[in-house]
Structures are given as C-alpha cells and as structure tokens.
Amino acid sequence: MKFDDRFKEELKSRTDILRLAEEYGVVARQAAGRYKALCPFHTDSQPSFYIDPQKGYFKCFGCGAGGDVFSFVMLADKLDFPAAVERLAERAGLPLPEMDDEEFRRRRGQRATTLELNKLAARWFYQQLYTPAGASGLEYFRKRGINDSIVRRFGLGYAPDSYEGLLKHAAEKSFSPEALKTAGLALATKGSRNMDMFRGRVMFPIIDEKKEIVGFGGRVLGGGEPKYLNSPQTILFDKHRKLFGMNLVGARLRPDRALILVEGYMDVLALHRHGFCNAVAALGTAFGPEHAKLIKRFAPEVIVCFDGDTAGVKAAMRSFESLEKADLQVRVLRLPQGRDPDDALRDEGAENFAQRLQNALTVPDFRMTVAREGKNMAQDGARAAFARECAVILAGIQSPVEREAHMKRWVEKLAVDTGISADSFHAEVARELEKQNIAPPKRRRAALPEAVDQEATPAEKQAVALLYNGSSAWLSHLEDDDFAHPLACELIKILQEHNGDATAATRALPPDDLEAALALTMAEVPGQPDKLLPELIARLKADKKERRLTELQAMLESGTGDTKAILQEIKNATTPPPRGTSPPEGN
C-alpha cells in the first residue's frame, strides 16, 4: 500500500515527534538542542534514546531503534505502516486520501462498520436495562448502589437472555450476522447457527480515551460461566491495550494528580459514585506493559488499589514491573483481608478512603509489609528470614537516594521487630547489592581526549548515517582514516570491530560522546543508499588524498622528510584511480 509522498510529508509536518513520544510515556530532557530519555522499546537503565524534534527523528543507541514518526508508532503500537499512517492521521485530524489499495479500503470499511455496530449495541443494551427483560440487571445495579446518574455516565446496560435479540435488532438496521461476528457481537455455534455473544449479562461498554466504543464487558447474572466476558479481539478492541473508565479520566485529571488502578468494573463505578473520578481498571486480564504506557500518557503517578485477599496482593505485585518500567511513580493502597474498594467505601465512607489514598505505601514498603505477614517473630529463623527478604527488596531499589531513605526508616522497624542491628542489616543489603552486580560492567572506550570542535563534512555525516542505519556491508570498502573528523573516524573503527552491529558498537562508545555521535548517525541523507554510498566513499577517499597531498606539500616547503620519497608519493597519489567503486557482495 502506497501513500502519496505529499500526504506523508504533510502528516509528518503536523506531528511533533517529541510530543508524540511524550504521549507514549517517554520522559525526555533537553540535551544540546536535542532530547534524551530512557528508551520505550527496551529495558533501559541509562538514557540512550535521543529525539531530534527539528528533524523529526529518533534514535536509540541501546537497542538500535530509530526512524521518523511513522517508525515510532509502528514500534510502539506494533502496527504495520498503513495502520501507523491511519493512527497518526487520526491524531492530527488530517483526512486520509482516497486509496486504490483494496486491503486499505477493506480495513477502513471494517473499522467504520464495527464502530457503528458498537454504538448501536450500546444503545440497545442501555434501552433493555429499563424494560421488563432487563429488570434483573437493573436490580443488580441498584443493590450495588449504582444510580441512574452512574448508569448514564458509563452507558451501562443489559443483554437479555435471548439467542438472537441483538442480531434481530441489527438486522432491522440492515446489518448482517457476518458483520456482527466480525465486530465480536455474535458468534456461530457448532451447528452454524448465529447467536448473540452476550446473553443474560449486565453490560459495560468499553470506551477508549478517544471516546470511541471499542468493545464490551459483560457480567453474568446467576451461576453461569464465565462470570465476566469481554469482547474478542477485533479491529477496534485489544484487551491488553484498553482500560475501563479511561474515557472519563483524560479530560478531568490534573497533570499532578494520581490515577487509581483497581481490579474490576464495579470498583470503578463505586469510586466514581463517591467522587473519585480518576479510577480505571484492566479488563478482566493481567495488567501489562501496554496498560502502563496508556496510564503514563495521562498521569505521572498511579495508586494501585486491588482487593485485600491473597489473589489481589499477588496481582498488585505483578503490576509493579510494568508500572515502574513506564517511569510511573507507584504507591499501593492496602485494603483489609477480603475487602475490595467498594466494600471499603461502603464501610468507611469517602473521607476515610481519601485518607487511605493519602497514606498509600511505596512499593518497597508494601513488599516489606507483605513479607512480614505470617511470620512468627518470636522465632529466630523467622526474624532472620524477614530481615533477608527486606535486604533483597531494598537492594532492588534502583535509585541510591530512594534506597537510603527507605533504609533509614526500616532499620528502626527491623531493630524493634527482629533485634538485628543497623550495622548487620546494612551489611546484608551490601551483600545483596554485590550479588546483583556480579558481572563487572563492560569497559567502554575512553572519551575522545578533546572536544570535537570541527564540523564533519556532508560526505562524512551522510556516510556515517548510512553505515549505522543498515548499509554496513560497505564497511569493507573503508578505512577509518578515510574520515578526517575524529568522532566519525572513531565511529567507523568501532563499527568495523563489531562487524557492522550498530547496537553493539554504540554501547562501546563513552557516554560523553553519545550526543555528538547522535548528530552524525541521524544526518539527513538524500537518495537511495546503494546508489549514494559508492559516490560518498569515492568522495571521502578523494578528500583523504587531498589532505595527504597538502601534508606532503607542507613537508617539501619546510624541508622535512626524504624529498625523493615525498615526490614519489605525490606522483602515485595523483595517478587517476580506477573508475567507480564496485558494490560489496550480496548487494
């Protein structure tokens, strides 16, 4: 599928790559006219991800990812190029051009039909809730304290216990059973009979941050299974990338306010009913990295408030890795055993719940609190085991400042609970830190001895950019001294040592040289690499020859060196070179 070049350039000009990256949770800081951050595409301990807003380009020196706004969205959302263009055009409010590509038209039509069917189904479910067929659903909501205001806010509804209720309603609007099956609203039985996907369930429309109804969740009334059923994956819906309640959070959440993450639909409704309108829930599935990235687009901090039972504690523990990787501040509201947020609000009221939120624990505090539970502190073995668990938890804190702050507080608690001295506990933490760093860090090259003040030539910039971004097969045609610029020379030398592996080569660079290296590897390159590189290589070698001739001329004028040898070298250097440069094998 091909898009008109003018349309792509217009879309790129309307998309600020820095703002786009920030929407995906990238926290970038300015550095020498560019921006650097932790890479969103791999586990990054130190900033190796660079953004150049002026050129509309990004590059990670850790994993090698790089490109323009289209490349970023393709990597971030795991999309193909056409889908990435669609997403960016929608974001920029730029109408897509009419395409001749059949697959593109099919996809676009399917998306529009699915969206229209979801709207139709949501209206129908809502209407059914207030009919005799939906009486059991309305009674369920009333018993859970859900009033008409909350029903309207979330568009709640009821799917009657009928095999073809929605199918017949959709048929009256000229929608086929096949369209409903594609939208995840119907399915075929083994006997090829079409039937409604949701039957005998209270319904929760899943509305995304763009205010589009992308799918549904349904809770069965009675003893049926599964208790909760979500829409299957469709062109609009992926449960691993959506959060319930997100449509009501974005516009209301202040930039400095935390988002509350709960386990289920009813928890979100209960929190909204009591005025906590910054609550969202995963869709009956384990919380994952894409959920965390979505939260990061709207809030800097998240308070995890899962059920107080063992399953809730384990689910909270599993969520921490994804949340922390998204660079979110994380705290945990620990509820009493067997209680959920709805129970806590009913029993304690909104004011006490707000105080609980205010006093939410940090992740290390939560882990250590859980570690203490169930241990008999009267036993020496239990006390020692608890202290060791705490040491492991504290050693796992990446920030030395944060680790020290937690240690100061927990040393006193441990002295009371276990009788272990501060010195012994510090020694235990030190041992754990040493275990985590058994393999010494790989040695990097020393930074260039002097700041590189000279400007690289256009040929040097373009050659380095091409060689570091997929054309490394040409390395065999180059020597490092073909480059006059010290950093360009060093980059090519390292790339050759690593057999063209740009990621490994970049890791060997000293941090002080990374930003200057960025400017070279991100240079704009006109034309096609296979056609341009031979010309660049020839130009670099010609420039090297000119530099050498200038040196030889200076030696003659100063009377240094062997005059006869210098004249012979000048003669050899001025002999016309073979015509052209052969492409490397395999190209």
Q: Please write the tens of the pLDDT for every residue from 75-100.
A: 887 777 888 898 899 888 888 876 65
Same domain, 115 and 204: yes
Same domain, 57 and 167: no
Sequence-distant contacts of 78-83: CB under 8 A, at least 24 apart: 81/1, 82/1, 82/3, 82/107, 83/107
Pairing of strands 329-332, 49-52: unpaired
Q: Is residue 448 in some structural domain? A: no
Tell whether the model's pLDDT for residue 196 goes beyond 60: yes
Lookup: tokens for 108? 């676009």
Tell whether the model's pLDDT for residue 525 goes beyond 70: no
Whether 41 and 65 have beta carbons less than 8 Å apart is answered as: yes
User: Please, which pLDDT band fits residue 586 given cuts at 50, 70 and 90?
Assistant: very low
User: Please, which pLDDT band fits residue 140 given cuts at 50, 70 and 90?
Assistant: very high
Same domain, 497 and 564: yes
Q: Is residue 578 in some structural domain? A: no
Q: Is residue 239 in some structural domain? A: no
Lookup: tokens for 84? 């990435």
Residue predicted with more confidence, 151 or 105: 151
Burial class (CB in 10 A: 0-12, 13-18, 19+), 379: exposed
Range of the domain at 194: 104-230
Q: What is the mean pLDDT of residues 270-284?
A: 92
pLDDT at 585: 45
pTM of this prediction exceeds 0.85: no
Q: Is residue 585 in some structural domain? A: no
Tell whether the model's pLDDT for residue 559 goes beyond 60: yes
Same domain, 56 and 174: no
Same domain, 473 and 548: yes
How far, in Å, are 127, 157, 241 from residue 214 at the CA level?
19, 15, 11
- Check which CATH number belongs to the domain holding 552 and give it: 1.10.860.10
Same domain, 346 and 387: no
How far, in Å, are 200, 239, 521, 573 from residue 562 at the CA level?
99, 77, 40, 16
Tell whether the model's pLDDT for residue 338 goes beyond 70: yes
Number of domains in the chain: 5
Same domain, 112 and 205: yes
Q: Angle formed by the axes of helices 5-13 and 69-77, to 10°?
A: 80
Same domain, 524 and 544: yes
Q: Is residue 97 in some structural domain? A: no
Whether 312 and 264 have beta carbons less than 8 Å apart is answered as: no
- Check which CATH number belongs to the domain holding 294 and give it: 3.40.1360.10
Q: What is the mean pLDDT of residues 137-166?
A: 96
Phi-psi category of residue 393: left, alpha or beta, with phi > 0 → left and psi -120 to 50 → alpha: alpha
User: Please, which pLDDT band fits residue 555 given cuts at 50, 70 and 90?
Assistant: confident
Q: Is residue 451 in some structural domain? A: no
What does residue 220 show for φ and ψ, rounded to 5 degrees?
-70, 145
Instruction: Tally Cβ neighbours within 10 Å of residue 231.
Output: 25
Share of the chain above pLDDT 90, in %: 40
Least trusted range by pLDDT, from 55-59, 436-440, 467-471: 436-440
Same domain, 226 and 111: yes
Same domain, 10 and 66: yes
pLDDT in tens, 20-47: 998 888 888 887 678 889 888 887 777 8
* Adjacent-strand bridge partners of 302: 259, 330
User: Please, which pLDDT band fits residue 245 given cuts at 50, 70 and 90?
Assistant: very high
Last residue of one domain, picked from the residues 309, 331, 359: 359
Last residue of one domain, picked from the residues 171, 202, 230: 230
Q: Is residue 240 in some structural domain? A: no
User: Please, which pLDDT band fits residue 583 given cuts at 50, 70 and 90?
Assistant: very low
- Check which CATH number belongs to the domain holding 63 and give it: 3.90.580.10
Residue predicted with more confidence, 168 or 531: 168
Same domain, 149 and 88: no
Burial class (CB in 10 A: 0-12, 13-18, 19+), 417: middle
pLDDT in tens, 408-439: 888 888 888 888 888 888 888 888 888 876 33
Q: Is residue 587 in some structural domain? A: no
Last residue of one domain, picked from the residues 339, 359, 379: 359
pLDDT at 195: 96
Same domain, 118 and 225: yes
Burial class (CB in 10 A: 0-12, 13-18, 19+), 566: middle
